[in-house]
Amino acid sequence: MTTEFTEKTKSLYDTDYYLWLQQTAKSLASRNVDALDWDNLWEEIESLGRREKKAIKNNLRIVILHLLKWNY
What is the spatial distance between Cα 71 and Cα 33, in angstroms, rounded to a whole number? 53
**Residue ranges of the chain whose pLDDT lies below 70:** 1-10
Considering only CA atoms, give the Rg of the chain: 19
**C-alpha dihedral sign at 37, 30, 53, 67:** positive
- List the one residue out of 33, 39, 30 whose CA is nearest residue 1: 33
Residue 28's pLDDT is 96
Q: Domain coordinates of the chain in residue numbers?
A: 3-71
Residue 72's pLDDT is 87
User: What secondary structure letter does DSSP report for 33?
Assistant: G
What is the spatial distance between Cα 67 and Cα 49, in angstroms, rounded to a whole number? 27
